[in-house]
Amino acid sequence: MNDVPVLIVGGGPVGMILALELGRRNVSCLLLEETDRSPAVPRASSFSARSMEHFRKLGIAGRIRSSGLPADYPTDVSYRTRICGPELHRIALPSSARILAAAGSGHSGPTAEPQHRISQLYVEPILLERSRDFPHVRIERGSKLEGFEETDHGVRAFVRSATTGETRTVTADHLVGCDGGGSTVRKTLGIELTGDETVLQAITAFYRVPQLAELVSPPAWMTWSVNGEVLCVTVAVDGRDHWLIHAFYPAGTDTSGVDAGALLTQAIGRPTPHEVLGIERWAGRRLVADRYSSERVFLAGDSAHLWVPMAGMGMNIGIDEAMHLAWMLAAVHQGWAGPDLLAAYEAERRPVAEAVSGFATGIGKGLLDLVSAEVNEEDSTAGIASRQRLGREVAVADSGQFTPMGLSFGYHYHGSPLIAADRRPPEFSVAEYHPSITAGARLPHLVLEDGTPIYDRLGRDFTLLRIGDQAPDPEPVVRAASACGVPLQVLELLSPAAIERYRSPLLLVRPDQYVAWHGAAIPESPRDLIDRVRGAGVPTRNAGVGISVKVP
Ligand SMILES: Cc1cc2nc3c(=O)[nH]c(=O)nc-3n(C[C@H](O)[C@H](O)[C@H](O)COP(=O)(O)OP(=O)(O)OC[C@H]3O[C@@H](n4cnc5c(N)ncnc54)[C@H](O)[C@@H]3O)c2cc1C
C-alpha cells in the first residue's frame, strides 16, 4: 500500500486546483511545494469563464469575485501613446458587477459565471484557505521533489525539506507534475517540449504608484502604451496604487539593462513617484509537451505547455486540465474507471493546448509589429491623422483577445474514445461560442425555472438528463451504470425552456459538464455506452481529438 493515492508536485494555481477538486471528490492527496508561494511579481490577471465555473463548483467563486478590483471598476482596455498621452483606441468592457448582473438575467447566456479580472495575488490565498476545508488534502510547503521512479505498484518520490535539508521517500499510486515550465517531473519522464523557443522577450514589473489611479483617466483595467519607444501594458491590480507593467520586445532582445523605473516613465510619459515591488524578465514561447503522461505520472499546466500570455489562457487551460484529470483520477481511485480512462486525458487535452497556444502566439506576434510603430506624438493635424491610423492597426492586431467566450467554451472532444459517435460540434472559434448538445461539446448553460443554473443541479459524476415528459424511461442506462459502479444521477427537466435548449430527450453529461452521448431512445446496448464513457470501450492510445481554432 502506498503512502498516498495522489502526489501533486507544485502548489501554483494548477496544482492547488487539482488538490481542491480531488478533495471535493474525497480522494486523498499530498501536494508538495518547494517555496512559500510569495513570488515578487504576480502574473495572471484574468480568469476565464470556464475557470470561474470551476471555482463555483469548488465553492469559491463568490469570494474570488469580491476580491481584487472594486466591483464597479471598468475592465476597459485602452490603447494610448502613453498613459498621459492621447488615446488611440478603447475596448469598452463592463465592470465585474455589471457582467455578473447581465449573466444572471437570461436563459440564453453562455454561463452563470463570466470571466473575471483579478490578480493571481488575491486568488492564491483563497485557494489555500479553501484547501483547509477538505480533510483529504494535505499541502506541504518547503518540500521539493528531487526525483522519482515508477514501480510496479506506483511511484516512489524523493522529497527534500527546505528547512532541514533531509530527504525522505513518499510512495503514491499516481503522481501529477504541476511544477511549472522547468518541470522536474517532465524532465524525469524524458518528455520534450516542442514548438517555438522564443516568440518574444518580456519584462513584468510590479509597482506601488499612488498617483497612477488619477492619471489613468477614464479608468481602464489595462492601458497599452504604444509609442515607438516601448510597447507595454499597465494593469490595474487593486484599482488604487498597485500596478503591473508587462513590456514586450522582439525575440533576441537583451532586456537585462531595462530598468523598472525607466520603464514606468516610458509607459506614463513622465516621471512619477513609485516603489518597485518586483521585476521578472522572461521569454514568451510556444511549447507543448510531446506527451502528457506515462502509466502513472501526468503533467498539467505549465509543465505541459508554455505560451505567451496573450488572451490570458495559460493558467486557465491548466486549471481546466487539473479539473479534467481530477475526475479521471477519482474514477480510478473509486474503482469505476476502465483501463483506458487515464490515457484519454492526453487524447482530449493536448489538442486544446495546441490550438489555444497557436491563437495566443499569433496575437503575440501581431502585437510585436507595434514595437517599432511610427508614432507621431505631436499635437498637429499630421500627428492626429497618424494616431488614428495607428488606432485602426491596433484594433486589428489585438482583436478577439478580451472577450473570448469561444476560447473558454468552444473546444470540444469530438473523436475522443470516451465520447459517443456523433456529428462534429461547431467549429472551435475564438470570438464566438455556439452552444451545442453534440457529443463532445460542453453542455449548454440553462437557468432552471427556480433560477438555479443547471450546472448547480448536475451530479458530481455522471448525470443523465431526461428532458420532457415523453422521454424514455432511463432505467436501463441507470442499471448499466450501477453494474459498473459508475455514479450516475438522473435529472428530470420538464420546462419548455429545457426542451427548447437541449432538443434531445436523453443527454448523458460527464463529470466535467461535457456531453458524452445524447439520443431520443435508450441505446441498443446501455452497457456499451457506459463502458465507452468510463474508458472500458475502445482503446485510447493514438485516438485523436482533432481541433483547430478559428480566429476572427
Ligand atoms: C506576465 C505573465 C502574465 C500571465 N497572465 C496570465 C493570465 O492572465 N491568465 C492566464 O491564464 N495565464 C497567465 N499567464 C500564465 C500563467 O502565469 C501560468 O500559465 C500559470 O502560472 C501556470 O500555473 P502552474 O500552476 O502550472 O505553474 P506555476 O505557476 O509555475 O507553479 C509551479 C509551482 O511548482 C513549484 N515547483 C517547481 N518545481 C518543484 C519541485 N521540484 N518540487 C516542489 N515544487 C516545485 C514552483 O515553486 C511553483 O510554485 C501569465 C504568465 C506571465 C508570464
Interatomic CA distance for residues 226 and 371, integer angstroms: 7
Query: Looking at the structure, do residues 394 and 384 belong to the same domain, yes or no?
Result: yes
Q: What pLDDT score was predicted for residue 400?
A: 63
Last residue of a domain, one of 390, 406, 422: 406
Tell me the mean pLDDT in the region 78-99: 91
Query: Looking at the structure, do residues 493 and 425 belong to the same domain, yes or no?
Result: yes
Interatomic CA distance for residues 196 and 290, integer angstroms: 13
User: For residue 513, what are the CA distances in angstroms to 33, 116, 186, 393?
Assistant: 30, 20, 29, 39
Interatomic CA distance for residues 66 and 97, integer angstroms: 10
User: For residue 374, what are the CA distances in angstroms to 132, 161, 241, 377?
Assistant: 54, 53, 31, 10
> Is residue 542 in a domain?
no
Of 16, 43, 122, the one to substitute when testing ligand 1's pocket (max ligand atoms within 8 A of C-beta) is 43
Which letter does DSSP use for residue 430 in this model? S
> Is residue 212 in a domain?
yes
Query: Looking at the structure, do residues 503 and 430 belong to the same domain, yes or no?
Result: yes
Q: Does the beta carbon of 284 sit less than 6 angstroms from any atom of ligand 1?
A: no
Q: What pLDDT score was predicted for residue 236?
A: 97
Q: Which atom of ligand 1 is nearest to the CA of 181?
A: 30
Residues 6+ apart with CB under 8 A from 377: 81, 82, 85, 86, 227, 383
State the average pLDDT for the chain.
93
pLDDT at 46 over 50: yes
Query: Looking at the structure, do residues 236 and 132 belong to the same domain, yes or no?
Result: no
pLDDT at 542 over 50: no
> Is residue 368 in a domain?
no
> Which residue CA neighbors atom 35 of ligand 1 most closely?
10
> Is residue 369 in a domain?
no
Q: Which three cell numbers stand for residue 371?
A: 514595437
As beta bridge partners, residue 205 has 245, 279
> Is residue 516 in a domain?
yes
Say if the ipTM goes beyond 0.90. yes
Name the pLDDT band for 425 (thresholds 50, 70, 90). Answer: confident
Query: Looking at the structure, do residues 438 and 524 belong to the same domain, yes or no?
Result: yes
Q: Which atom of ligand 1 is nearest to the CA of 41?
A: 1
Query: Looking at the structure, do residues 180 and 320 belong to the same domain, yes or no?
Result: yes
Q: What pLDDT score was predicted for residue 47?
A: 94
Q: Which three cell numbers stand for residue 23?
A: 478533495
Q: Which domain holds residue 164?
A: 4-67+118-192+290-337
CATH number, domain containing residue 333: 3.50.50.60
Q: Which atom of ligand 1 is nearest to the CA of 246?
A: 1
Of 127, 158, 315, the one to substitute when testing ligand 1's pocket (max ligand atoms within 8 A of C-beta) is 315
Q: Which three cell numbers stand for residue 388?
A: 488614428
Place of cell 492527496: 29
> Is residue 552 in a domain?
no
Q: Does the beta carbon of 144 sit less than 6 angstroms from any atom of ligand 1?
A: yes
Q: What pLDDT score was predicted for residue 390?
A: 85
523-526 contact pairs (CB < 8 A, 24+): 523/477, 526/476, 526/477, 526/479, 526/480
pLDDT at 549 over 90: no
CATH number, domain containing residue 230: 3.30.9.10
Query: Looking at the structure, do residues 25 and 58 belong to the same domain, yes or no?
Result: yes
pLDDT tens-digit series, residues 137-156: 999 999 999 999 999 999 99
Q: Which atom of ligand 1 is nearest to the CA of 184?
A: 41
Q: What pLDDT score was predicted for residue 379?
A: 86
pLDDT tens-digit series, residues 272-282: 999 999 999 99
Interatomic CA distance for residues 241 and 234, integer angstroms: 12
Is residue 365 classed as helix, strand or coil in its secondary structure? helix
Name the pLDDT band for 552 (thresholds 50, 70, 90). Answer: low
> Is residue 236 in a domain?
yes
Of 119, 232, 302, the one to substitute when testing ligand 1's pocket (max ligand atoms within 8 A of C-beta) is 302
Q: Identify the residue with better confidence: 195 or 537.
A: 195
Tell me the mean pLDDT in the region 345-369: 91
Q: What pLDDT score was predicted for residue 197?
A: 86
pLDDT at 235 over 60: yes
Interatomic CA distance for residues 422 and 10, integer angstroms: 38
Contact between residue 118 and residue 47 where contact means Cβ atoms under 8 Å apart: yes
Centre of ligand 1 to C-alpha 162, Å, is 20
Q: What pLDDT score was predicted for residue 373?
A: 79
Last residue of a domain, one of 384, 406, 428: 406
Q: What pLDDT score was predicted for residue 61?
A: 96
pLDDT at 93 over 90: no
151-170 per-residue burial string, b: 16 or more CB within 10 A, e: under 16: eeebbbbebbeeeeeeeeeb
Interatomic CA distance for residues 243 and 210, integer angstroms: 10
pLDDT tens-digit series, residues 477-533: 999 999 999 999 999 999 999 999 999 999 999 999 999 999 999 999 999 999 999
Contact between residue 74 and residue 95 where contact means Cβ atoms under 8 Å apart: yes
Centre of ligand 1 to C-alpha 459, Å, is 31
Tell me the mean pLDDT in the region 337-352: 96
Query: Looking at the structure, do residues 154 and 26 belong to the same domain, yes or no?
Result: yes
pLDDT tens-digit series, residues 117-137: 999 999 999 999 999 999 999
Backbone angles phi, psi at 232, to 5 degrees: -150, 165
Centre of ligand 1 to C-alpha 303, Å, is 9
Contact between residue 460 and residue 487 where contact means Cβ atoms under 8 Å apart: yes
Q: What pLDDT score was predicted for residue 107?
A: 52
Q: Is the peptide bond before 523 cis (omega within 30 degrees of 0)?
A: no
Q: What pLDDT score was predicted for residue 399?
A: 61
Tell me the mean pLDDT in the region 295-323: 95
pLDDT tens-digit series, residues 169-208: 999 999 999 999 999 999 999 999 999 988 999 999 999 9
| Helix residue ranges per DSSP H, 430-513 | 454-457, 475-484, 496-502
Centre of ligand 1 to C-alpha 238, Å, is 21
**Largest Cα–Cα distance in the chain?**
78
CA 298 to chain centre: 17
CATH number, domain containing residue 436: 3.40.30.120
> Is residue 354 in a domain?
no
> Which residue CA neighbors atom 49 of ligand 1 most closely?
12
Query: Looking at the structure, do residues 424 and 467 belong to the same domain, yes or no?
Result: yes
Query: Looking at the structure, do residues 158 and 51 belong to the same domain, yes or no?
Result: yes
Query: Looking at the structure, do residues 387 and 462 belong to the same domain, yes or no?
Result: no
* Number of separate domains in the chain: 3
With a pLDDT cut of 90, the percent of the chain lying above it is 79
> Which residue CA neighbors atom 52 of ligand 1 most closely?
43
Q: What pLDDT score was predicted for residue 363?
A: 84
Centre of ligand 1 to C-alpha 11, Å, is 9
Query: Looking at the structure, do residues 88 and 27 belong to the same domain, yes or no?
Result: no
Q: Is the peptide bond before 13 cis (omega within 30 degrees of 0)?
A: no
Of 18, 30, 34, 288, the one to substitute when testing ligand 1's pocket (max ligand atoms within 8 A of C-beta) is 34
Q: What pLDDT score was predicted for residue 216?
A: 95
pLDDT tens-digit series, residues 55-65: 999 999 999 99
| Helix residue ranges per DSSP H, 410-474 | 454-457
Contact between residue 464 and residue 480 where contact means Cβ atoms under 8 Å apart: no
pLDDT tens-digit series, residues 27-38: 999 999 999 988
Interatomic CA distance for residues 36 and 206, integer angstroms: 19
